Amino acid sequence: MTAVVPPGARAVVRSPATGAGRSGPVAWMVLPALVMFVVFGVVPLVGVLVLSFTQWDGLGAITPAGVSNWRVALQDPGLYHALWVTFEIMILSWLVQTPMSLLLGVFLAGRQRYRAFLAVLFFIPLLLSSAAIAITYKALLDPNFGLGPGLHLSLLTQDWLGKSNLAIAVIIFIVSWQFIPFHSLIYQGGVRQIPVSMYEAAAIDGAGRVRQFFSITVPQLKYTIITSSTLMVVGSLTFFDLIFVLTAGGPGDSTRVLALLMYQQGFQANQMGLASVIAVVIVVLGLLLALLLRRLGGSTTASQMEGM
Amino acid sequence: MTTSRRNFLRLTGGAAIAAGLAACGTSGPQSSGGSTGGTNGGGGGGGATYWFLTGQPQQAIREAQVKRFNDANSGSQLKTTEFQNDAFKQKIKTAIGAGQAPTLIWGWGGGGLKSYVDANQVEDLTSWFGENAELKNGIFPSAFGAASVGGKIYAMPVETTTPIVLYWNKKVFEKVGAEPPKSWGDIMDLVPKFNEQNIAPFSLGGQSRWTNMMWLEFLYDRIGGPEVFQAIYDGQPDAWNDPSSIKALTEVQNLVKANGFIKGFSSITADSNADQALLYTGKAAMMLHGAWTYGGMKADGGDFVTGGHLGYMNFPPVDGGKGDPSNTVGNPGQYLSISSKASDAEKETAKKFLANNTLDEASVEEWVKSGNIPVVKSAKDKLSSVSDANDKAWLEFVYDTSANAKTFSQSWDQALSPAAAETLLDNIAKLFQLSVTPQQFASNMNAVIGK
C-alpha cells in the first residue's frame, strides 16, 4: 500500500494556487470533479450553516434567528444524550469490529481456494441494505413472534429492543455483522501486501505464528488499521437507517443517535434551523475525528514499504 | 494496491445513499389520469391537481371519485398523483414550501393544517361552506373542529371517521371467566386475572409512540373532560399541570407498573400490525386502537372477526371522573384543502370536485362497503344494505360512537403543532418507560406549550 492521498487530489489543491497555466492540462481535467464537489459538497454545507442561524418550519418564510437555535440546541440535554449514545455506539462497535476483522482478514489472506469462497460468503451481509437488515432482525428478535418463542428457546426470548442496554447491544451486534466483512476485506488486502520475506526471516529467527502476528502483521498493517478505523468512526456518525427502522431511537431515547435527532427535529418537528445546528455538529465532529485519526497515524503520505 | 481513503469514503457513502433510497419504499409516485401535460404545481387551463395516498381500499375509492369527476367534466380535468404514506408527508410539505403545491391538499387537519394556514398556503372555505349549507349540514359537526383555525374553515372533512376503540378477545375472556370492563377500576382488576393465566391484559405497539398516546387521550378525557386538552391546545400556560392531567399520567403509570401491557411492548410497532396479531392470537386479552384496525384483523385474523370473537366498546368511565362517557377521541375525518397559490380556474375545478364527488352517494356507498363510516350523516341509511352481520354491527357501533359523541377530540399529535407533537411523543415514550414521573412529564410539556 502506497500513498493514501491519490495524485489527483493533490492537483486539485495545488493548481488554483500555482496558476492553471503552468499545471497545464491536469488542472482543467479535475475541473468537472471540482465543480461537482462545489455544487454537491460545499454549497449544501454552507447552506446548512446559514440555515442554522434561521428559523424555518419548512413551509413559510425563512427568517433570521441569530444564535437562538444554537442556544436552544446547546442547552438541550437531548443533544448531549444523543452525543453520548453516538460515542457509545461508535466506540463499542469499533472495539468489537477491529479485532474480529483483523483476525478474519489475516485468515482470509491465505491462498487456499476455499478461503476465496469463504470471503465471498462473508461479504454477503454488506450487500444487503441496512433497512432490509433491520426489518429482518426486528422480526427475528420479536419477543412474541420471533425466533426465540418460535423455537421455544427462553434464552432468545428477551425483550431485545425494549430494554436500553439490550437495544444498544443488538445495534452493535448488527452493525458488526454487517460491516466486519467489509473491514476484513481491507485487512485481507493489507496483509497480502506484506512481503513474504519478512515472515521467512522471522521464521528463521525462530518466531512462532503468534509472535509473527504481533511483530510483523500488526505493525505492517498500521495504516490499514487507521484507514479501517477512520471508516468505522466517521461512518458511525451517520448511522441512521438501521437504528431508525430497528428501534426508532427507543426505548425512550436510549438509542437516539445524532443523525436520528437531526431527522426528528427537522422532518418530524419541522424545526429546520435546529436540525441544521445538529447537522453542523455532526460535520465538525466527523472532521475532527478524521483529523485525529490521521494524526495518530503520523504522516500518511509516506510510503509504508521500504524500497517500494 | 493503491486504494485511497477518499475512494473508500465515496464507496461507503454511495452504499449508504443506496440503502437510504431502498428504505424509501418500493414504489415511487405514480401519476395518472387527467388530460394533457400540466406540471405538479402550476397546471394550465381549468385542470387541477390532486395528490393522495396509496393503500387499499381507500386508493380505489379515491381513484373512482376522480374518474367520476373527470367523466362528468370534460372541460376541467383533475390530474392525480399517488404517494405512499411517509413519502407523501415529506413531499407535500416540501412542495408547499416551494410554492409547488397541488390544487387539492390532502391531510389530517389540526396542527399540520394550522401550519399551512400560518404560511398563507390554503384557501379560506368559510364563505364557500356558507353558500353550500346543505353540503355542510350533511357532514358530522364533530369533523369540522380539526378543519378550523381561528374560527375559520380551511378544509373540507372527507372520507372516514375513525374513533379509538377498546377491543377485546371474547375467547380469552371466556377462558378466564371474566367480564368486559365497565370502569377504569374494572380494568385494573382484570390485569392480575389475565397475568395469572399468562395472558397479557393489553396489547400495545409502543415503539410507534402514538399508540401509547391513545391511552392518555382517553384518560385525560374521562378524568378531566375535554377541557383539559382544550386548554393545552389553546396554549394556556401551565395547562399540563392540571390536577386531572397529573392524575391521568399517574393512572397510566400504575397500569404499566401492574404489568398491564404485553411484555416487550416498547419494541413492538403498530406499522407491522404485530399488536393486532397479539389480540387475535389470544396472547393479549384487550387492545386500545383505532377503528381502522378492524379491516386488518378481519383480513389476517382467520375466523377471529368473521367468527364473532372480536368484542369492542367505547373507553369506559373512570370513577369520579368529569368526562362524558360518550366522548371519543381519534381521527374525526380526513381533510382536503385548496391551495391558495392555485389559479382561479383551478380553484373552481377543485371546489366542484369537493362539492360533487367527495361525499356523494356513490362514495358513501363504497366507503360503507369497505367497512368504514364516511363523515356524513347519510351513511346511516346505507348501513341496512350491509349483509354480513358482524360488519353491520361494527359499522353501527362506529356510526353511533362518532355521531353521538358529545366531543370528538382529534388525536393529539395531529392537533398540536409538529414541534410540540414531537416533544409530546418523546415524553410519552419515556412516561411508559417509567423514566419520567408525571410531574416531570408535565413540566417538560409545559415548556413547549403554545409552540
Contact B422/A161, CB-based, under 8 Å?
no
| ipTM of the shown complex | 0.78
Taking only the tens place, the pLDDT of each residue in B60-100 is: 899 999 999 999 888 888 899 888 877 788 788 888 888 88
Q: Which residues 349-408 of chain B have a CB within 8 Å of chain A?
A: none
Taking only the tens place, the pLDDT of each residue in B200-258 is: 999 999 988 999 999 999 999 999 999 999 999 988 999 999 999 999 999 999 999 99
Q: How many Cα atoms within 13 Å fall on the side-chain side of residue B360?
A: 15
Dist. CA A167–CA A12, nearest whole Å: 44
Between B38 and B331, residue with greater pLDDT: B331
Dist. CA B98–CA B103, nearest whole Å: 14
> What's the Cα-to-Cα distance from B235 to each of A173, A272, B30, B356, rounded to whole Å?
45, 22, 40, 37
Q: Which residues in chain B have their CB less than 8 angstroms from residue A76's CB? A: none
Contact B207/A250, CB-based, under 8 Å?
yes
**CB contact B19 to A (< 8 Å):** yes
Taking only the tens place, the pLDDT of each residue in B316-328 is: 999 999 999 999 9
- Is residue B425 within 8 Å of residue B210, measured between CB atoms? yes
Q: Tell me which residue in A159, A193, A248 faces B264 most closely, judged by beta carbons.
A: A159
The chain A residue lying nearest B19, using CA atoms, is A129
Q: Which residues contact A48 (CB under 8 A, 6 or more apart)?
A: A276, A279, A280, A283
- Which of B253, B238, B234 shows the shortest CA–CA distance to B443? B238
The minimum CA-CA distance between B20 and chain A, rounded to whole Å, is 7
> What's the Cα-to-Cα distance from B374 to each of B65, B129, B261, B295, B369, rounded to whole Å?
14, 19, 32, 15, 11
- Is residue B170 within 8 Å of residue B163, measured between CB atoms? no
Arithmetic mean of pLDDT, A68-73: 92
Contact A129/B23, CB-based, under 8 Å?
yes
Q: Which residues in chain B have their CB less than 8 angstroms from residue A132's CB? A: 22
| Band of residue B196 on the pLDDT scale cut at 50, 70, 90 | very high
| Band of residue B40 on the pLDDT scale cut at 50, 70, 90 | very low
The minimum CA-CA distance between B125 and chain A, rounded to whole Å, is 20
Q: Which residues 129-168 of chain B have a CB within 8 Å of chain A?
A: none
Q: Would you state the torsion angle of the CA atoms of residues A296, A299, A301, A307, taken in this order, to the nearest 10 degrees?
A: -110
The minimum CA-CA distance between B102 and chain A, rounded to whole Å, is 14
Q: Which residues in chain A have their CB less than 8 angstroms from residue B337's CB? A: none
Q: Taking CB atoms and an 8 Å cut-off, how many pairs form between chains A and B?
A: 152
- Is residue B140 within 8 Å of residue B402, measured between CB atoms? yes
Straight-line distance from the first to the last Cα atom of chain B, in angstroms, rounded to the nearest whole number: 57
Q: Which residues in chain B have their CB less than 8 angstroms from residue A250's CB? A: 206-207, 209, 266-267, 429
**CB contact B203 to A (< 8 Å):** no
The minimum CA-CA distance between A168 and chain B, rounded to whole Å, is 13
Q: Which residues in chain A have their CB less than 8 angstroms from residue B259's CB? A: none
pTM for the model stands at 0.82
State residue B20's pLDDT score. Answer: 38
Contact A59/B5, CB-based, under 8 Å?
no
Q: Which residues in chain A have their CB less than 8 angstroms from residue B115's CB? A: 57, 59-60, 270
Q: Which residues 250-269 of chain B have a CB within 8 Å of chain A?
A: 262-269
Highest mean predicted confidence (pLDDT) among B1-15, B50-64, B159-173? B159-173
